[in-house]
Structure 1
Amino acid sequence: MKLGVYGLGRFGAFWAARLADYTDVVAFSRSPKSDIDPRIGLVSEDELADCDAVVLCVAISAMEDVVSRIADRIKPGTLVMDTCSVKVYPVSVMQSSLPETVQILGTHPMFGPDSGRNGIDGLPLVYSPVRISFAADSFYRDLFRKMGLHLVEMTPDDHDKTAAYTQGITHFLGRVLQDLHLEPSPIATLGYSKLLEIIEQTCNDPEQLFLDLQRYNPHTHEMRESLKYSLDRFMTKLKEVTGLPA
C-alpha cells in the first residue's frame, strides 16, 4: 500500500512522517522543504495521483482547487482522504468533484506538531467513512489503531457541531489572548500558565487555519455569538456592581 501525501506544510510533514512508520509514503508539495523525513520520497503531482491512496494535507480554503487539479488523474478504486479541521465542506467538495469510482474518507487528526510532539498514542482521530469499500475501511481502521490512535466515528455535521465548541473556540480564544501580548510572569498561577499554553498550541499554526476554521465550519458563527453574549452578560454585571463603564 502506497500513500501519497499532498502538501508538506507544517502538519503535512508531521503527518507524513507518522504514517511512514507504518506504510510506504511519498509526497508532493508545491514548495518542497529540506527538512522532510528522509523516508518520504518527493514525487510529481501526476505520480502522487497514481498512488493507492491520496491524503490531502492542504488548507481548507485550498481544497476545491486541489481536488479539481487531481480529479481527472485519480485512477478508479483510489481512496482520497482529507485531514481538514472541518468536515462538511471538504467532504462535499470531494463528493461533488471526484468520480464515483473514487473512494472518499473524511478524517480529522485531533492533534498536530505541537500537541503530538511527544507522541500520538491515545490521541483521537475523527473518522468519517463516506464512500469506501469494506476492505479499505478495514485497512484504515486497522492502520490508525496500530498507530495507537483513538478512532472516533462521527458524521461530518456532528463533527462540525462539536468542533465549533472545542477546537473552534480554542483557536478563537488563542488568537484573542495572543493579541493581548501576554507574557510569562514569575507570579503566574497555574491557570495563567494554561492560558499561555493555549496561545502556544494555537498560534504556531498559520493564521489561515484560524480563519478557515471560522469560515468553513457552519456552526462557528453560533459559537461566536454565544461567546459574545456571555462576555456582554458579565461586563453588564460588573458595570452594575462597580458603577464603572463596561
Structure 2
Amino acid sequence: MNTDPEKHSSGKTKVLILGGTGEMGQWFTHFFKERDYEVTVWGKGGKVEVARKLNVPFASDLEAAIPENDIVIVSVPINATEETIAEVAPKMKAGSLLMDFTSTKVKPVEAMRRFAPANVEILGTHPMFGPTIPTIRGQTVILVPVNGRSEKWFPVIRQLFEESGAHVEITTADEHDRLVSVVQGLTHFAYIAIGTTIDRLDFDIKKSRKFVSPVYSIMLDFVGRILGQNPYLYALIQMENPGVPEVHEAFIKECEELSSLVRAHDDEGFVRKMKAAARKYDDTAHALRRSDKLINSRITEYETIMNSVGKVCGFSHFYSGKVHVGTLEKVGPNEIIITKLASKGTAPHIKNKFIRLKLENLRLLSEPELREWRKENLKHAIRDISVLIPEDADPEVILGAVTTNNHLVACQISDTYNGTKGTEAENEKRGPERLGVTYRITIFGDCNADSVETEVTTLLCGLGCRVREKNLRLKE
C-alpha cells in the first residue's frame, strides 16, 4: 500500500529513477510499480524501448520531469553519481526526496547535502543485493538519514522496505563506507583474485569439478557469480571507496605472510595465525552450522532429483522464469534430461520433446507448484460415473473420499436423482430406495484416464455404491 505523504490527482506518489533503464533501475521500477507508485525512468543511453518493456514513461524532457516528481532516485554508475546529483538536485521541488542507490555513501551524501535545496530532503540508500535477486524479502537495505534533512521521508521509506520484507539497517555515511570496504571491497577482491589466479594457472575448472568437494564447489559458484557480472561495476566498487586500498594492503600482506610460512614449512606459525583469526572471528561454530545448512540444502535437492527419475517433475528456470515439466529420464552431475509434456495448445503432430537442462539454472518445483502447473497447462479428460449410493449415505462424504485421488484435477457432483426410477421389476430387484449420484471427475492429462476411472469406480464400489449405468466420457 502506498503510504507516502505526497499525493497527486491519480492518488499515487510519483517516482523518477535516473538510471532506470539499467539492471538495478529496472528492478526498482518493478518494485515501486508493484506498490502502486507512478514511476518514470530516465537513462543516459536513451533506451526508450526498455521503458516500453517496463510499461512506464521515459523522461525524454528530463528538465521538465525532475520538478514533477516527489521522489528522485539516482541509480547511475558510482563515478557518475556526484555529477548527476549536482545537475538534478537544484531542480527538485520543495518537499520532495532525493535518494541515491550507490555502493559508497560519504561522497554521494555530501553531494546531496551540498546541491539539494534546503527544502528538499535527502536519504542515502544502499540495497545490499543485485538485480538477479527475485524479491527484496529477506534482503538488507542500508539507509543513511541526515539530521534535519530526512524527517518527513525517512520513516516512509523505512516502512516501505520493512513492510516488503527487507531488513533495514540505519547507519552513518562514514560507518557505511568503512564496513563496506570489507563487506564488498575485500569479498569481491578475494573472489576476483581467485578467478584471475585460476586464469594465470591455465587451470581446467571443468575437469577439477570431477574431484569437487562441497566447499570448493560453492566457492567456484561464488567466483563465477562475480566474474559473470558487470566488470565495470565491480571495478568502481573497488576504486571509489576510499577505505578499500587499506583493506587491499592488509589482505596482500596476509597472503604474503601465509605464503612465507608455507614455504618455510612453519606449521606452528601457520597454526598460530589460524587460531588468532578464529578468536577474532568469534563465530566459527555458527559459521560451520550455516555453511553446513547451505551444503546440505544442495545435497538434499540433488538427492530429491535423483530419486525422481521416471517420475513427472517440474523445474523453474531462475533467469527466464520458464517452467519445464516432464518425465525425468536421467540426472547427471551438471544436467538433467526430461521428456517434456505436451501442454494445451500444442499442435497434434508435435509429440513430447526430449530436452537437456543445466542443473545450476533450475529450481525443483514443489508438489503444490507442480500440481498447479499441470492443472493449468494440460488437456484433461472428464468422465461421469453414475452410482447408487448406500441407504442413508451422504453423497458429500463420498465425494470427499473420491477427491483424495492424486490423479484428479477436480471432482464434483454433477447430478442427483431418485434411485428407484425404472420398471417395477428393476426396482424390486434393486431393493430399498437408494439415491442416485453422478460424480464428474476431471483427470490430469498426463495420467491414463481409463486406469484412473477404474480406480475411482473401484473406490466407490468399496464404499458400498453400485454402478448404475455406463459411464460417460466427455471432452477427450
TM normalised by structure 2 equals: 0.48
1:91–1:156 contact (8 Å) kept in structure 2: yes
The residue correspondences of 1:153-192 to structure 2 (distance < 5 A) are: 153-179=170-196, 180-181=198-199, 183-184=205-206, 185-192=209-216
Aligned to 1:105: 123
1:104–1:132 contact (8 Å) kept in structure 2: yes
Which AA in structure 1 matches 2:42? F
1:5–1:48 contact (8 Å) kept in structure 2: no
Report the secondary structure of 2:129's partner residue: coil
Cα distance, 1:237 vs structure 2: 0.5
2:238–2:244 contact (8 Å) kept in structure 1: yes
Aligned to 2:166: 149
Query: In structure 2, which of residues 5, 18, 42 is the aligned counterpart of residue 6 of structure 1?
Result: 18
Structure having the higher Rg: 2
2:34 equivalent to 1:21: yes
2:90–2:115 contact (8 Å) kept in structure 1: no
CA spacing shift, 1:200–1:13, aligned 2, 3 Å: farther
2:122–2:150 contact (8 Å) kept in structure 1: no
Aligned to 1:125: 141
CA distance in 2, matches of 1:92, 1:189: 47
Aligned to 2:217: 193
Cα distance, 1:133 vs structure 2: 4.4
CA distance in 2, matches of 1:194, 1:145: 30
Cα distance, 1:38 vs structure 2: 2.7
> 1:66-87, CA deviations, whole angstroms, 9 ceiling, x for partnerless residues?
1122133212222110011111
CA distance in 2, matches of 1:138, 1:235: 50
The residue correspondences of 1:63-78 to structure 2 (distance < 5 A) are: 63-78=81-96
Which AA in structure 1 matches 2:89? A
Cα distance, 1:239 vs structure 2: 1.2
Bigger RCO (CA 8 Å, 6+ sep): 1
CA distance in 2, matches of 1:211, 1:12: 19
Query: Aligned Cα RMSD in Å?
Result: 2.0
Which AA in structure 2 matches 1:128? V
CA spacing shift, 1:108–1:133, aligned 2, 3 Å: closer
1:56–1:81 contact (8 Å) kept in structure 2: yes
**Greater mean deviation of Cα atoms: 205-214 or 104-113:** 205-214
Report the secondary structure of 2:84's partner residue: helix
CA spacing shift, 1:9–1:98, aligned 2, 3 Å: same
1:6–1:58 contact (8 Å) kept in structure 2: yes
CA distance in 2, matches of 1:138, 1:174: 36
1:79–1:132 contact (8 Å) kept in structure 2: no
CA distance in 2, matches of 1:46, 1:204: 36
CA distance in 1, matches of 2:77, 2:32: 19
1:20–1:39 contact (8 Å) kept in structure 2: no
1:170–1:198 contact (8 Å) kept in structure 2: no
1:27–1:48 contact (8 Å) kept in structure 2: no
CA distance in 1, matches of 2:84, 2:28: 18
CA spacing shift, 1:147–1:33, aligned 2, 3 Å: farther
Query: In structure 1, which of residues 213, 216, 233 is the aligned counterpart of residue 237 of structure 2?
Result: 213
The residue correspondences of 1:43-82 to structure 2 (distance < 5 A) are: 43-44=59-60, 45-50=62-67, 51-82=69-100
Aligned to 2:44: 30
> 1:145-172, CA deviations, whole angstroms, 9 ceiling, x for partnerless residues?
1221110001111111111111111221
Cα distance, 1:33 vs structure 2: 5.9
1:25–1:39 contact (8 Å) kept in structure 2: no
**Greater mean deviation of Cα atoms: 5-14 or 121-130:** 5-14
CA spacing shift, 1:77–1:210, aligned 2, 3 Å: same
CA distance in 1, matches of 2:65, 2:226: 30
CA distance in 2, matches of 1:201, 1:92: 32
Report the secondary structure of 2:253's partner residue: helix
CA distance in 1, matches of 2:100, 2:215: 35
Report the secondary structure of 1:151's partner residue: strand
CA distance in 1, matches of 2:262, 2:48: 51
Aligned to 1:41: 57
CA distance in 2, matches of 1:85, 1:133: 20
CA spacing shift, 1:230–1:157, aligned 2, 3 Å: same
Which AA in structure 2 matches 1:91? V
2:86 equivalent to 1:86: no
Q: Between Structure 1 and Structure 2, which shows a larger proportion of strand residues?
A: 2
CA spacing shift, 1:193–1:33, aligned 2, 3 Å: farther
CA distance in 1, matches of 2:108, 2:63: 22
Cα distance, 1:214 vs structure 2: 2.0
2:89–2:98 contact (8 Å) kept in structure 1: no
Report the secondary structure of 2:104's partner residue: coil
In structure 1, stretches of 5+ residues that fail to align are: none
Which AA in structure 1 matches 2:141? L
Report the secondary structure of 2:41's partner residue: strand
Report the secondary structure of 2:131's partner residue: coil
